[in-house]
Structure 1
Amino acid sequence: MRGRGKGVGLYGEHFHMKRIFVINPGCTSTKVAVYEDDKAVWTDDGLHPQEEIDKFMTVDDQYEYRKDFVLELLRKAGIPLKFDAVIGRGGLLKPLHGGVYAVNELMKYDLHHAKHQHVCNLGCLIADDIAHECGCPAFMADPVVVDELMTRARYTGLPFMKRESIFHALNAKAAARRYAKSCGKVYENMDIIVAHLGGGICVSAHHLGKVIDVNNALNGEGPIAPERSGTLPADQLVRLCFSGKYTQQQIMKMLAGYGGCQALLGMKDMKEISRRAEAGEQPYHEVLEAMLYTISKQIGAMAVALWGKAEAIILTGGIAYSKYCVEEIRKQVEFLAPVVVMPGEGEMESLAFNALGALNGELPIHEYK
């Protein structure tokens, strides 16, 4: 690895090159990377055998296993525990504004006792432990619970139900920022629609640096997705819940995990589904067309949220690699705004970007309360 040198910040000041360790837990992986400033100098996909993950009853039970796994990856790569910051993917905490947060004891407590169980909850916990060993700060940035919804977007037709903001905030905001920079503009001065197309799908309306509306990409709202049902007819869902055929846990799995393409086609591999659909094979073609139609409708809804002033529609996430899917969406929405394709998730780069900005004083460090 390269030694430390000097760099130049956004505002021209000189500083020593920062070494940042990035941790991003996923369902069957714990991706890790070492950055020197904004350059990745070492990465590992950190894949876990499914049989290993299946041994654990809860997400919290995986904590020691995943931490030891990460430390072993560093040891095998000969990378010493000498970093200027460690940043982990944010978890399902209480609703927050976007930005960089220092990991603190309250955050760790809330992650251990989170209402929603997801492996992303482990990112900050592992980051904090490793940061303690390094004697450096631990951060998280733009977790999935970023909540900047405008008031009118929170309402439902029942006084005791409010819409929740749970979405792929890290990649959505990173993609919007990269696009703004490519145009020579500032994210905080733009109106942009971002469609994150992955195992879950969220379409967000970004107005002057805030996500003012977005579908809940975790708990059954929005488009059909590879493994999520999206919005369902309420009366049919109620009858299903009271049919006596399924437990609450089984129905929740239908909404997220075993819904969408997984339920309709018995698979969620979008490369294979797209290949078969493009060849006209049924039912793959019909199901994929339906999924892309619901994505396009959600983009249309976010165009309304931005008062018809969207400057771009960004398609990002893994499905954005599919030319077939991109073109089908483009046909349906390009009358609203130019369609920009930024495939992939960009989460590691975004986490490193946020940590570097915090270390250099270019981004504020928020306190979790």
Structure 2
Amino acid sequence: MLFFAFSFQAFILGILFFLKRKGDRVANRLFGIFLLLFSYNLLYNCSYWATNKGLYHPHLLFTNLIPWISYGPLLLLYIRRVLYQKKLRLKDGLHAIPTLSIFIAYGDFYILSASEKLQTARQMFFSQEITLGKIYRDYIILIIILIMFFYIGLIYNEYRKYKKENFSSHKRLWVLSLFTCFTAYVISFSLYFLLGYLKLMTLAGDYTIGYCIVAFIGIVSYFSFMQPDIFSGKKIIPYIKYRKNGMLESFALEMKQKLEDLMGIEKVYLDHTLTLDKLADLLNLSKHHTSQIINKYFQSNFFEFINNYRIKEAIVLLSDTSNTMNINEIIDATGFNNRSSFYTAFKKTTGMSPTSYQKSFSKES
């Protein structure tokens, strides 16, 4: 019942991703298909465990091979799309070869009636005929495992290349999560059949692969409901906490430096419409984590932080005796939206009004 529930959940998520309009539609559809195949994988397993190795459902026989061999290519194309926004090209069709090979090897079998499938399945296992198709079918599990590990290598290579150029990217963290989950699935998948082949485990009674799929679906479900913008490339993964340990602290320091560059070099505070949400988008962080960095490293809230930079800019302009701008023009030039907030912030910082401050420099000159 647990596996069936997660199968249904993955099915709903897959449909939602496939129909999702926000974000990258191609990436969403690739990931949607990936989840739908996971859903079917679990549903097939439920049937397998609930019956005598699927023999009461002959139309399901060998259909589990389709998702197994398709996971790697789909995940690779999805990750490439997420990291580089690469358009699907004609040569990407080569990644469909593993899946097509299943339909070539089992295509005639899939269109048979239920009784014919049962009879043909027995012949497949006991036939002494040697053909290329039979060799392929006899070693299909080994071939699928090798293909899975091949794609793990390709995915890791994409992740490694992207990491060199984008160490602190939220995309990298999301891809690492997917890569880790998929690798755990492939390892459990391989051990499942290896231990069964060595007769160290009963294949029919092992649920390891199912638990790995459930964990994967659970993680995706959590991000889908708790942090949905992660899939449109706008937010960072929500479990990152900026504490004083290891890489997480270094990541926070990188974001602090990036924030200082946005203020000191790009002077984004001069934008009248700047909000915490906009600043978070510029940092590729969530609103919460942007506020957290400001609080932790600058000991202020968003408005105090931005106004501090605006007042410093205003002080430079007011201190310049050659500057011909009046107070209203300075207010507009420094990003403030109204005179009242400018005067309040200026007096809080300098202890005097902007007019008095400007006059003091006029007298000195």
TM range (shorter): under 0.3
Q: Normalized per residue, which structure has more strand? A: 1
Structure 2-normalised TM-score? 0.24
